[in-house]
């Protein structure tokens, strides 16, 4: 009888096929891993060799004196070599970084060979050097070019992002010539450098002074910088050409000398020889910096260059009180002095100073001269002229009475005079903010009528207005005497008016009255801000808080109701 094997004995066909598929996938993945690893190792091995070869090439460059770097390199060969590198014709060396370096250098060659001679045993080979390492072939190149390095990284020649860059700048006397040597190594690697056509590369560079002899440094010698002569502050005028060029000068022990100028007014320019010329176009004040650079170092100086605007006048309408001395400076902007002033149609008694433009009075004007049209002209030092016209008016004024001739009347008497005015343009209109009781003012004639009934002291503000609406006023004290009720204090300390300082307390004599029938009662109005009147003690209290003048009215009333008024000016000073 046939024996049946157990269920777990051997593999079924499906299991066998599945195992074979898994083993195939694993082997495929391992193959890719091994290939990638081998490629990476080969690339790194080649790179390490190329770095060593490139550094050996740099060591060869550094072992040569500067003058021997280009020895044996013909002009045509050296130029062709750099052109091929610039045009990307050398496999593996078409790199963006190389293009940036090549843009700042020119072919360097042995001038002793002549321009048409081929290279003769160059110290640095022109054709690539073939080197075999571990059965792998490498090509080593030397590319030599010339560039210039600013002496001491002069800030006037390069911007901050280019300091230390050897470039094609050329300014004799302040740049040091250098050789830039590019050492490049290439090798074949189809897998590792597929993006560059199967050719890998490593590139480095070094700088070598092109001086024929090495400098000798003596620490005991101090380099003296150039010493610019400061030309001093300058003044010019918009649109006016400079009278003569400004030539800069400096003392230097290391010529040649070159100039740089910063901050010149718009419209002006300079040359490296230090000559500034032009016509300024924009008014303003400019800080100008002049920089002198010799073969060893730099130094600078600064001064102010002022460009004045064209002259312009801005007079305003002038309205003056008669009997007032005149002093008016005609406003002017721009221009370059000295100036010459003239004026036409000035009111009688006025003149203009031809040097200053101040209009003043030769005598105090007493009569009307309303609405004079005055024309003022000024010519500056550059013959630039401007003119302006404005109005000059004499204000109407109260001629009589005035503060300097106070009025004294007896109670129940009439005022014997008439209010008078002058200046402005008649006819006049008269008014008063307050009149002593019993008196009235005629608005048309200025005549005062009636008999005064009040007593002691009133401050009358007389106002006059001419036919053109110009108004003026004056404050006139009127004292009225009487044997009846009257104020005896104030005056304070024999002075009719009062003055005190802002924020300060004060002490005043007691108020006093005479005549009438006692007892007396007092009231007060119009005090300065911060001051009150105590109607019980009859004292002024507090302290003034605002600078200025106030008209205070004191009123005393006796037992039978009779009143008397005393008005005074209280001036608060700072």
Instruction: Give yes or no for a cis peptide into 338 (omega within 30° of 0).
Output: yes
Closest by CA position to 302, among listed 248, 254, 253: 248
SS3 170: coil
Q: What is the per-residue pLDDT for 174?
A: 60
Tell me the pairing of strands 397-400 and 420-422: antiparallel
Give 89 or 312, the one with higher predicted confidence: 312
Q: What is the per-residue pLDDT for 330?
A: 97
In this predicted structure, the answer to whether residue 456 has a pLDDT above a threshold of 80 is: yes
Q: What is the per-residue pLDDT for 38?
A: 53
**E strands in 189-230:** 199-209, 227-228
Q: Which two tokens stand for residue 286?
A: 């400019």
Mean pLDDT over the full length of the chain: 86
CATH number (3.30.70.100, 2.60.40.10, 3.10.450.50, 3.40.50.620) of 312-394 reads: 2.60.40.10
pLDDT tier for residue 296 given thresholds of 50, 70 and 90: confident
DSSP per-residue codes, 525-543: E-PPTTEEEETTTTEEEE-
pLDDT tier for residue 444 given thresholds of 50, 70 and 90: very high
CA–CA separation, 68 and 128 (whole Å) = 19
Q: What is the per-residue pLDDT for 159?
A: 43
Outline which parts of the chain fall under CATH 2.60.40.10: 227-308, 312-394, 397-481, 486-573
- How is domain 486-573 classified at the architecture level of CATH? Sandwich (2.60)
CA–CA separation, 436 and 458 (whole Å) = 6
Closest by CA position to 415, among listed 435, 443, 429: 435
pLDDT tens digits along 458-507: 999 999 998 888 888 889 999 999 999 999 999 987 889 999 999 998 88
Eight-class DSSP state of 222: P
Structural fold of domain 397-481: Immunoglobulin-like (2.60.40)
Cα separations (Å) of 474 from 399, 405, 445, 539? Answer: 9, 12, 17, 30
pLDDT tens digits along 495-545: 899 999 999 988 888 999 999 999 999 999 999 999 999 999 999 999 999
Q: What is the per-residue pLDDT for 5?
A: 54
Q: Which two tokens stand for residue 149?
A: 């390095």
For the ranges 11-25, 397-411, 464-478, the lowest mean pLDDT is seen at 11-25
CA–CA separation, 434 and 439 (whole Å) = 10
In this predicted structure, the answer to whether residue 143 has a pLDDT above a threshold of 90 is: yes
For the ranges 126-140, 238-252, 559-573, the lowest mean pLDDT is seen at 126-140
Looking at the chain, the whole-number percentage of residues with pLDDT higher than 90 is 53
Tokens 């700042």 — which residue? 104
In this predicted structure, the answer to whether residue 251 has a pLDDT above a threshold of 80 is: yes
CA-derived radius of gyration, the chain:
52
Q: Which two tokens stand for residue 483?
A: 């044997």
Q: What is the per-residue pLDDT for 163?
A: 42
CA–CA separation, 263 and 328 (whole Å) = 39
- How is domain 227-308 classified at the architecture level of CATH? Sandwich (2.60)
pLDDT tier for residue 160 given thresholds of 50, 70 and 90: very low
> Nearest 5°: CA angle at 177, between 173 and 178?
160
pLDDT tier for residue 220 given thresholds of 50, 70 and 90: low
In this predicted structure, the answer to whether residue 551 has a pLDDT above a threshold of 90 is: yes
CB 226 within 8 A of CB 298: yes
Q: What is the per-residue pLDDT for 192?
A: 78
């Amino acid at each position: 009888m046939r024996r049946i094997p157990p269920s777990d004995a051997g593999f079924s066909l499906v299991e066998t096929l599945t195992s074979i598929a898994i083993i195939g996938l694993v082997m495929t993945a391992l193959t890719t891993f091994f290939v990638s690893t081998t490629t990476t190792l080969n690339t790194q091995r080649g790179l390490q060799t190329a770095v060593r070869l490139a550094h050996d090439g740099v060591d060869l460059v550094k072992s040569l004196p500067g003058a021997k770097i280009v020895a044996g390199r013909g002009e045509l060969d050296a130029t062709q070599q750099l052109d091929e590198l610039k045009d990307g014709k050398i496999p593996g060396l078409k790199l963006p970084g190389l293009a940036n370096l090549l843009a700042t250098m020119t072919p360097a060659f042995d001038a002793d060979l002549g321009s048409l001679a081929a290279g003769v045993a160059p110290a640095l080979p022109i054709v690539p050097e073939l080197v075999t390492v571990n059965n792998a072939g490498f090509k080593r190149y030397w590319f030599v070019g010339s560039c210039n390095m600013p002496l001491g990284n002069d800030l006037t020649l390069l911007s901050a992002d280019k300091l230390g860059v050897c470039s094609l700048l050329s300014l004799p006397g302040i740049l040091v010539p250098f050789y830039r040597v590019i050492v490049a190594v290439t090798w074949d690697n189809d897998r590792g450098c597929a993006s560059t056509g199967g050719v890998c590369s490593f590139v480095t560079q070094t700088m070598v002074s092109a001086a024929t002899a090495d400098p000798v440094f003596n620490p005991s010698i101090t380099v003296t910088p150039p010493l610019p002569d400061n030309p001093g502050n300058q003044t010019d005028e918009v649109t006016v050409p400079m009278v003569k060029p400004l030539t800069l000068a400096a003392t230097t022990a290391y010529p040649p000398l070159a100039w740089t100028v910063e901050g010149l007014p718009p419209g002006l320019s300079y040359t490296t020889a230090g000559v500034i010329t032009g016509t300024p176009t924009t008014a303003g004040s400019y800080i100008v910096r002049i920089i002198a650079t010799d073969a060893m170092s730099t130094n600078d100086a600064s001064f102010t260059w002022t460009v004045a605007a064209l002259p312009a006048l801005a007079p305003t309408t002038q309205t003056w009180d008669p009997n007032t001395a005149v002093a008016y400076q005609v406003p002017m902007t721009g221009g370059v002095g000295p100036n010459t002033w003239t004026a036409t149609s000035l009111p009688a008694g006025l003149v203009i100073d031809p040097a200053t433009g101040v209009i003043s009075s030769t005598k105090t004007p007493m009569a009307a001269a309303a609405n004079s049209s005055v024309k003022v002209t000024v010519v500056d030092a550059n013959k630039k002229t401007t003119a302006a016209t404005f109005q000059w008016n004499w204000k109407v004024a109260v001629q009589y009475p005035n503060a300097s001739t106070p009025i004294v009347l007896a109670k129940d008497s009439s005022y014997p005079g008439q209010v008078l005015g002058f200046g402005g343009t008649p006819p006049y209109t008269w008014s008063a903010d307050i009149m002593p009781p019993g008196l009235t003012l005629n608005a048309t004639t200025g005549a005062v009528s009636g008999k005064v009934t009040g007593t002691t002291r009133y401050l009358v503000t007389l106002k006059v207005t001419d036919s053109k609406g110009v108004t003026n006023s004056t404050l006139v004290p009127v004292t009225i005497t009487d044997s009846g009720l009257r104020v005896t204090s104030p005056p304070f300390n024999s002075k009719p008016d009062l003055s005190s300082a802002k924020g300060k307390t004060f002490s005043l004599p007691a108020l006093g009255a005479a005549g009438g029938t006692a007892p007396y009662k007092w009231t007060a109005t119009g005090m300065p801000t911060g001051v009150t009147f105590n109607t019980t003690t009859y004292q002024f209290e507090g302290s003034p808080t605002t600078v200025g003048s106030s008209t205070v009215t004191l009123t005393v009333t006796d037992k039978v109701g009779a009143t008397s008024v005393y008005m005074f000016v209280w001036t608060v000073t700072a």
